[in-house]
Amino acid sequence: MKDLKNPTQLFPMFMTSKLSETKRFYLDAGFEIRFDLPEYLQVSYAGGLDLCFMVPQATSSGKDYPVFEGKGVVVSIPTRNADEKAAELRERRLPIVTEPEDKPWGWRSFHVQDPNGVILDFFHVYKEIEMPAAQ
């Protein structure tokens, strides 16, 4: 079990003015809610990946951070079967950006876009590929 008192994983946070739409999207996408506050939302997928969303005015420093402009972020999320997950999300009318396809690095994946512009890359490994050594 994870030590939630002192977590060691990443918690990407996006500044948004769309918390209610974001909550609805992530619930429809199969995420669970960890925190649901008027100014902060934290969602979790399969107990492993957490994403956080906060209104710009909620920072403790009193500084307003700019709202995420919805470009340039893709979050890859392992799922049991990308084709089944795509069918599930299509049925729930979530915006599929790309259909499931095999990638040269051994993933079968598809993309869906959240209300903030974050692209979720749901994937499963269809063939094992040896990872090159880090340089």
| pLDDT tens for each residue of 69-88 | 999 999 999 999 999 999 99
Q: What is 13-57+67-125's CATH topology?
A: 2,3-Dihydroxybiphenyl 1,2-Dioxygenase; domain 1 (3.10.180)
- Which pLDDT does position 4 carry in this prediction? 57
pLDDT band at 113 (very low <50, low <70, confident <90, very high): very high
User: What is the C-alpha to C-alpha distance for residues 87 and 30, in angstroms, rounded to an integer?
Assistant: 13
Q: Calculate mean pLDDT across residues 37-59.
A: 89
Sheet with strand 96-102: strands edge to edge:
74-78, 119-125, 107-113, 96-102
Using alpha carbons, list the distances in angstroms from residue 62 to 58, 69, 119: 7, 21, 29
Residue 127 has pLDDT above 50, yes or no: yes
- Which pLDDT does position 8 carry in this prediction? 61
Q: Calculate mean pLDDT across residues 104-133.
A: 92
The predicted model scores a pTM of 0.85
User: What is the C-alpha to C-alpha distance for residues 61 and 87, in angstroms, rounded to an integer?
Assistant: 43
Domain boundaries, the chain: 13-57+67-125
Q: Calculate mean pLDDT across residues 95-116.
A: 96
Residue 28 and residue 114 in contact, taking contact as beta carbons nearer than 8 Å: no
3 or 54: which leads in pLDDT: 54
Q: How far apart, in Å, do the first and last CA atoms of the chain sit?
A: 33
Q: How many other β-carbons are positioned within 10 Å of the β-carbon of residue 90?
A: 14
Percentage of residues in the chain having pLDDT higher than 90: 73
pLDDT band at 1 (very low <50, low <70, confident <90, very high): very low
- Which pLDDT does position 6 carry in this prediction? 58
